[in-house]
A and B are shown apart, each in its own frame.
Chain A
Amino acid sequence: MKMAWKEMVKFKTRYVILGSIIFLISLLTMIIAGLANGLSYDNASLIKDIPEGTFYMEAEAEGLYNFSGLNEKNRAEIKEAVPEVAFFSIQMGELESEDGKRHGVAFVNSDGSLFPRVKEGETIVDDSLMESAIKEDEGLTNRLLDGELKVDTFVEQQKFSHSPVAFVDRADFDEMYRTDEYQIAFVEGEDAPAVAGLERYTNDEFMNTIPSYSAEQLSLNMIVVFLFIISGMLFAIFFYMINVQKIAMYGILKAVGVKTATLFRMMWAQMAIITTISLILSVGLSQLLALIMPSTMPFMLTAGSASMMSLVFIIIGFVGSSVSGIQISRVEPMQAINQGGV
């Protein structure tokens, strides 16, 4: 729309100021969202990489995986309904490397369908342990274990509760934690039957049973939501102030027959132009940041989630400006005619 653009060019400063604020807020939002996502990966990539499905835990465990145990009967029941079910257990523990250093890990024992299968006396570990100078074929020990666990291979990004995952065989897991029951069952896809005595969790719900996970995500997501709200209010306030200054002009334009819808479209066009330019800049910059950020900084922002957020910003801008645009529809032509003007 030509008129919208002309006005922005003529009154550059105020629109540039609004644009820069929107740019900064949207950039901040993207950075924090990227951080939330990165942290969630750093926390629970073991679970995050699992396709959407349903997790089962014992109802009595009340969401605490290490208190859950699936007995023979439970397992048979799930398996009967969904043959391709996967079972696994997780326990936090530690491994001592040959140089005598201790490393916190999350031991994962699985039936091999969801996670890599490991031979007895061996382990497959997250590659972050490589940075702690652990090498392939190195023998790792644990107080609860008589023998050694030889490092078979490393896997990329397999973490649980911020600890690197160590996949171990059932016999070794049993020796350390004295249980031959799997804690958790997982069924991919949507149809997962209810099983008596077991509680079902979605992927998100399951991740939120990790205490550190829900705490981190909740606070970061709160910030993101607040930034969205702030930017919505910013749009509303900005266009309110601009519209107040233009009441007389709106009145005259209405008097000569310009439709209210045309005036709204003009405002929306300005909102769209400002938001689009600001978002292109902030998405671009955040993607650049994702590239240059050191790997120790958990930052992860996919183009998909960046564009999702951009969409939210555009919707918010639309709502914010429309709310303040209500005054436009209230302007009476007569209000303006008797006032002075350009």
Chain B
Amino acid sequence: MPILSVDGLEKTFSSANREEKVLKGINLEITKGEITALTGASGSGKSTLLTIAAGLQKSTAGTIIFQNEALTDMNTRQVQAIRAKKFGFVFQHAHLVPFLTVQEQLELMMDTAELKWSKDRRKEEIRSILDLVDMWGHRDSYPGTLSGGEKQRVAIARAVVHKPEMLFADEPTASLDSKRSMEVMKLLRTLSRERNITVLMVTHEEETLEYADTIVQMKDGVIGKGLV
């Protein structure tokens, strides 16, 4: 039973003078607890697929089923609630809130997920995730004082502090050097193993693929042969 399944997904971007079919009927099943990596040439539609699967934009046709519920049938408010409670996001840039400390970024996410955790529980969770990404020492720092790698680690902590079911990551290592990239990949694998978080990520860096359980190759809006 997949946690997320994509069925006949199509996406066409239309502007005044042209139409571009970016996704041409995608079928995909994501297994719970696994790391699935989307890879393929730039412009092949990886980000589009990931963001639609994550409820960040609408598809033109097809369905997305998440935990037996059709994301594609929900209204904006319902999708927003799913994103807040069940999903976590890591983007190419960390996109931290500039005026909140590391710890406050995580608190914001717990508030957004409307968790009914006690004060102590919240503290514990923050401590444990910041320990894991090795940023506990920076808990009171503002994003402006952190390096790129540190910011991305905070972004990952923020993405999972509310214990989401799924983590969506679009080229989380693209802005990092090779050594930092490997650290982030290890971190994602640890999260997936220790916290049973299902990960759907986009990457086009060969070396990061070894951390994936399933690799999905994309080409011109269709899924190519999968390799494991």
A168 to chain B, nearest CB (A): 71
In angstroms, Cα B95 to Cα A332, docked, is 15
The listed residue (A6, A262, A332, A338) touching B100 by CB distance below 8 A is A6
In angstroms, Cα B211 to Cα A9, docked, is 42
Interface stretch of the complex, out of A83-91, A233-241, A252-260, A285-293: A252-260
In angstroms, Cα B104 to Cα A333, docked, is 21
Contact residues of B between 153 and 210, Cβ < 8 Å to A: 158-159, 170
Contact residues of A between 81 and 100, Cβ < 8 Å to B: none
Evaluate whether A259 and B56 lie within 8 angstroms (CB atoms) in the complex, with A3-B100, A342-B144, A342-B151 already known: no
A257 touches B80 (CB 8 A): yes
B80 touches A259 (CB 8 A): yes
Which A residues are CB-close (under 8 A) to B143?
342
B14 to chain A, nearest CB (A): 15
B97 touches A256 (CB 8 A): no
B170 touches A337 (CB 8 A): yes
B112 touches A342 (CB 8 A): no
In angstroms, Cα B56 to Cα A333, docked, is 7
B102 to chain A, nearest CB (A): 12
Which B residues are CB-close (under 8 A) to A254?
80
A342 touches B96 (CB 8 A): yes
Evaluate whether A256 and B93 lie within 8 angstroms (CB atoms) in the complex, with A6-B100, A342-B143 already known: no
The listed residue (A10, A256, A336, A338) touching B99 by CB distance below 8 A is A10
A255 touches B57 (CB 8 A): no
Interface range for A? 20 to 34
A328 to chain B, nearest CB (A): 14
A342 touches B81 (CB 8 A): no
Evaluate whether A253 and B97 lie within 8 angstroms (CB atoms) in the complex, with A6-B104, A334-B51, A334-B56 already known: yes
A273 to chain B, nearest CB (A): 15
Instruction: Report the nearest B residue to A258, measured CB to CB.
Output: B112
Which A residues are CB-close (under 8 A) to B109?
256
In angstroms, Cα B116 to Cα A19, docked, is 36
Does A185 sit within 8 A of B, measured CB to CB?
A: no
Render B60-88 as a binary contact track against A, CB cut-off 8 A, 1 for contact. 00000000000000000000111111011
A255 touches B94 (CB 8 A): no
Does A211 sit within 8 A of B, measured CB to CB?
A: no
Does B41 sit within 8 A of A, measured CB to CB?
A: no
Which B residues are CB-close (under 8 A) to A338?
47, 92
Interface of A, secondary structure class, is helix
In angstroms, Cα B70 to Cα A285, docked, is 60
In angstroms, Cα B113 to Cα A262, docked, is 13
Instruction: Report the nearest A residue to B81, measured CB to CB.
Output: A257
The listed residue (A10, A256, A334) touching B98 by CB distance below 8 A is A10
Render B120-155 as a binary contact track against A, CB cut-off 8 A, 1 for contact. 000000000000000000000011100000010000
B92 to chain A, nearest CB (A): 8
In angstroms, Cα B113 to Cα A332, docked, is 19
B100 touches A342 (CB 8 A): no
In angstroms, Cα B144 to Cα A336, docked, is 19
A266 to chain B, nearest CB (A): 11
A341 touches B93 (CB 8 A): yes
In angstroms, Cα B98 to Cα A259, docked, is 19
In angstroms, Cα B82 to Cα A249, docked, is 20
In angstroms, Cα B154 to Cα A47, docked, is 70
Which B residues are CB-close (under 8 A) to A256?
83-84, 88-89, 109, 112, 158-159
Evaluate whether A257 and B84 lie within 8 angstroms (CB atoms) in the complex, with A3-B100, A10-B99, A334-B56 already known: yes
Known: A256-B84, A337-B51. 17 other contacts (CB 8 A): A3-B108, A6-B104, A10-B99, A10-B142, A252-B95, A256-B109, A256-B112, A258-B108, A262-B112, A333-B56, A334-B51, A334-B56, A334-B57, A336-B95, A337-B95, A341-B96, A342-B95
A-B contact pairs, 26 of them (CB 8 A): A3-B99, A3-B100, A3-B108, A6-B104, A10-B99, A10-B142, A248-B95, A254-B80, A256-B83, A256-B89, A256-B159, A257-B82, A257-B84, A257-B85, A257-B87, A257-B112, A258-B108, A333-B57, A334-B51, A334-B57, A337-B95, A339-B93, A340-B93, A341-B96, A342-B96, A342-B97
